[in-house]
Amino acid sequence: MSAPLSDEERIVITGIGLTSPNGNTLRDYRESLLEGRSGVTEYEIRYVGKTLAGVCDFDELKYQKRKEVRRGTRAGGIGIYCAHEAINDSGIDWENTDRAKVGIYVGLTEHGNVETENEVYELKGYDYDIAFWSHHHNPRTVANNPAGEISLNLGITGPHYCIGAACAAGNAGVIQGAQMLRLGDCDVALAGGVSESIHTFGIFASFKSQGALATHEDPTKASRPFDVDRNGIVVAEGGAIYVLERLSDAKARSAKIYGELAGYAINSDASDFVLPNPERQAECVEIALGRAGITASEVDIVSTHATGTASGDAQECAALNKVFGNCDNVSINNTKSYIGHAMGAAGVLELSGNLPSFDDGICHPTINVDRLDEECAVPGLVVNEPRQLGEINYILNNSFGMLGINSVVIIKRV
């Protein structure tokens, strides 16, 4: 067994800022999850027409001026809002924080599609005369844009960049932030993920062509992982940014601590563009457990990635059964059933919804499970009603993405 980490090596979450389709603060978001309130609504986008989506409704002008919102991107605006909220929540003395020692690490599924689609569409009205092409196009579409917009808005002169990790990106942002703190690259990390996916018609069109875009007469019931009648993904926007610090620094300022990053892992399937590989997913979970120094039976809550597709849900459940099949105490839930799939923000938003369990002892359920698919019958699955667990010590969060990228983070009570 490896030696215990020092307080300088232990990384903790001291602030959370988020916007989701069913809440713009952690408190409101958590209440929605415990009360079974979906954030999925009717939505219309050009070429695709009427569809369903998870749409955020946060105050864009809370931390930006109208001119800044017009110049920037939706993803950047989400990142700025979440970063400010996280800093405020952390109670850190921001005015006296060395901005050169703050790092920004933002996970993305994709970026630039929205701006390019919008500009091509507008250019059509000018007979494709590129004289009308926006001079803001390049800074809006570079891959580091959302992290860069946060840097500009907050005057942060430390490192900023985005991590492209498909739908595993939110977890990857948190992992990157923790690694940079341990390396001494920064003293404070703003880490997480953002998504503006609902503003590009391409993602809807692609899922629709795959037969993987969810439909339902009741929008709030469209996202239904594990249910036998699930029929696809509900695309969502959103974001969550954490303030990460070394435990020693958090203790020195008597900060509130949401939890400690106890273990993590990222690996690759190397087997298919889209179809997940349950063996590699199970390996990713096992690597994270090993790094945390715990067994599967010590995990209290598993937050699943399950998106509501027939093959994806079943494959993840096969991985879960391999790792947790003999664990009587584990409770398993899903957050996409409330908000849809927030792509690059998915993992960190889903983890955020579970972190309050350390305080209230409750596991929020997966909603919209009317008929459980036998292939998704994993032990401990919490459906439709919250489950009171008592003391919770470990939360494990799965987040997987296309091209076979898998990520797992484990947070423990401090």
Strands 49-54 and 331-333: unpaired
User: Which tokens is 31 given?
Assistant: 């209440």
Q: Cβ–Cβ contacts within 10 Å for residue 63, how many?
A: 18
Report how far apart, in Å, the C-alpha atoms of 114 and of each of 45, 95, 97, 111 are.
Answer: 12, 34, 34, 7
Dist CA 73 CA 61 (whole Å)? 13
d(CA 394, CA 98): 33
Token digits of residue 277: 């590989």
Helix pair angle (169-183, 346-354), 10° resolution: 80
Q: What is the token pair recorded at 346?
A: 């998915």
For residues 310 and 298, give the distance between their C-alpha atoms in angstroms, rounded to a whole number. Answer: 29
Q: Which residues pair with 213 in a beta bridge?
A: 233
Handedness of CA 123, 124, 130, 132 (dihedral sign): negative
HSE, CB side, 13 Å, CA atoms: give it for residue 167. 28
For residue 400, what are the contacts with CB-CB under 8 A and spacing of at least 6?
A: 167, 168, 276, 281, 305, 316, 406, 407
Show which residues are catalytic.
Answer: 167, 305, 341
8 Å CB contact between 349 and 336: no
Q: Are 4 and 247 in contact (CB under 8 A)?
A: no
Q: Which helix (H) or strand (E) holds 43?
A: strand 40-45
Is-contact 306 336, C-beta < 8 A? yes
Q: Dihedral sign, CA of 46, 47, 51, 53?
A: negative
Do the Cβ atoms of 160 and 101 come closer than 8 Å? no
Measure the CA–CA gap between 301 and 324, rounded to whole angstroms. 11
Cβ(237)–Cβ(198) below 8 Å: yes
Give me the residues paired with residue 246 across strands: 11
